[in-house]
Amino acid sequence: MQVARAHVVRAALESIAYQVADVVELAMRDLTTPLRELCIDGESAKNDFLMQFQADILGFPVKRLGLEEASGLGSAILNCCACGIYTSVQEIREVRKISEICIPDMKPDERIKNRQGWLQAVHAVMLSAKR
């Protein structure tokens, strides 16, 4: 069976979304307030398929930031909070510009089935690596 380049690319993009979902799941275990959205930036944020699939797998909106690279903005915001320049969450929200929002449209049972398939695949790879 010949694998088309498009299938490999799609699998790579889906694996990014699943890995992010794994990290989000772990982070949510430690949070007292559940996450309701994910804001993304950088090169991966330019991919519309990845953004939508990420929203579908997480089950909540994914927002593309209006900045190409926002990690510097995050550092600046934290410094402004520490210095008392920003004193409320609302002030921070006004700084953050959203250019697009992807709303999940995958059915919950499909999301669960896909996540289980991902976890089974990861488990199988880990088992084969031990051999």
One-letter amino acid of 35: L
pLDDT at residue 107, as a whole number: 97
Q: Residue for token digits 């690279």?
A: 69
Q: Which residues of 19-49 are buried (b: 16+ CB within 10 A; e: fewer)?
A: ebbeebeeeeeeeeeeeeebebbeeebebee
Tell me, what's the pLDDT at 79? 85
Q: Count CB-CB contacts under 10 A for residue 105.
A: 8
Residue 121 has pLDDT above 80, yes or no: yes
pLDDT band at 17 (very low <50, low <70, confident <90, very high): very high
Average pLDDT of the residues in 30-47: 88
The predicted structure's pLDDT at residue 130: 83
Question: Averaged over 73-81, what is the pLDDT?
Answer: 81
- pLDDT category, 66, cuts 50, 70, 90? confident
Q: Can you tell me the mean pLDDT for 71-90?
A: 81
Whole-model pTM over 0.85: no
Q: What is the pLDDT of residues 88-100, one digit of tens each?
A: 877 777 766 778 8
Q: Would you state the torsion angle of the CA atoms of residues 70, 33, 107, 40, taken in this order, to the nearest 10 degrees?
A: 0
pLDDT band at residue 1 using 50, 70 and 90 as cut-offs: low
Calculate the average pLDDT of the chain.
Answer: 88
Helix axes 108-130, 5-30, angle to 10 degrees: 100
